[in-house]
Amino acid sequence: PVAEVKMLLMMVTAGLSCHFFTSLLIVAAFCVTSIDGLEDGKLGTGGVKMVDDTWRRNALDAVPDIALLHAPFTPFNNDSTRSLNVDVIPAMAKTAANFGVTVIWTCGGMGEFYTMNVDERKSINEAWVKSGHDNGLYVIAHVGTTVLSDAIEMAQHAKSIGADAVATVPPYYETPGTIDELVEFLKAIADAVTPLPLYYYHIPGSTHVNINAADLLAAASTALPQLLGIKFVSSDNDDWFNCVQSYNNTHVLMYAPEPKLQSFVLGLGRGAVLAEDFFAPTYIRMHREYLNNNHAKAQSEQEWKFRASSVFSQYGGGLAERNVYRKINGVDLGPRRLPTASFDENNYQPMIDGLNKVGFFNQTW
């Protein structure tokens, strides 16, 4: 215990000469400081601070220059329990990389994390960390849940298998009432895996945690230094603007809402939340044209994405998107878990025909 170590150091130095007493006091002060730091998680071995400006620079350097985030669908077998089908994840990782994706966010909303138990989510994270790294992808393991101990367990597992970072949603049933309460919840996860970076999943429409992301970043600057980035899934453009104005150089800010083009004017973050990997090429083209002052071409890319998205909406939305991989790479992701209905197979060929009409399968970047 720290208190007993302090007492022992004082007793040892008490009977020594003044010269040695002074020298040992210096050593004792260093040791006690190091032990105190280890106790509260702020310092690493030998008293070296684990989360500081150097840590942040290194953590930011590890992130791709343009963070194009894909939150993959979870593949299920077409059986009575919709069991996991992790065997197809290597093919999905290769496809994502080929489309231009640079970041994987495991077990997100599209990945139906809320239907999976802890062991299943660990299996998904293992498969994506392995396959993602094999394809040069930065992998963020989402461990969010309302059960804090489960989130910590999954975060520690993610660290052990080599994930690049962990992420979490806020508690979404009994929600935090203040920023301080939210930080306390996030800090318990972050402290369990320091120095691994933490990302916050800001999706108030689903979690009903209606805080401003900019306020969280402000509080985290001292109370939660491990917070490296935010997946921003909110229509509050004022909040996004405030985030990028104050924190764009120190955090990984990734914008999800449509139209993506609006974020270019409000302030480009480090990247974008594509959700679907097959929309990476149009984002890359849009981004390039905007930076080259070809704004009309950038607008045409946004318009093209709306047309492609409307085809999916016409034939089942997310269910249709899951099934388009049968055409893209021959992978059947299976049905979604209950209570979501199954894909209407009669919609498959009309969907493919509609996508062919807009040139969906002929994208280049």
201 belongs to the catalytic site: yes
Q: Active site residue: 122, 187, 200, 231, which one?
A: 231
Amino acid identity of residue 248, one-letter, is N
Q: Which helix (H) or strand (E) holds 205?
A: helix 204-207
Cβ contact 213:273 at 8 Å:
no
CB 70 within 8 A of CB 274: yes
Length of the chain: 365
Q: Pick the catalytic residue: 138, 201, 255, 290?
A: 201
Instruction: Give catalytic status of residue 290 as yes or no.
Output: no
Q: Rounded to an integer, what distance in angstroms lies between the CA atom of residue 344 and that of residue 121?
A: 28
- CB distance 226 to 51 below 8 Å: yes
Which stretches within 15-143 are classed as H helix?
A: 18-40, 53-61, 89-99, 118-134
Alpha-carbon distance of 341 to 359, in angstroms, equals 29
Question: Whose CA is closest to 171, among 193, 197, 192, 151?
Answer: 151
Cβ neighbourhood burial of 245 (10 Å; 0-12, 13-18, 19+): exposed
Catalytic positions, please?
201, 231
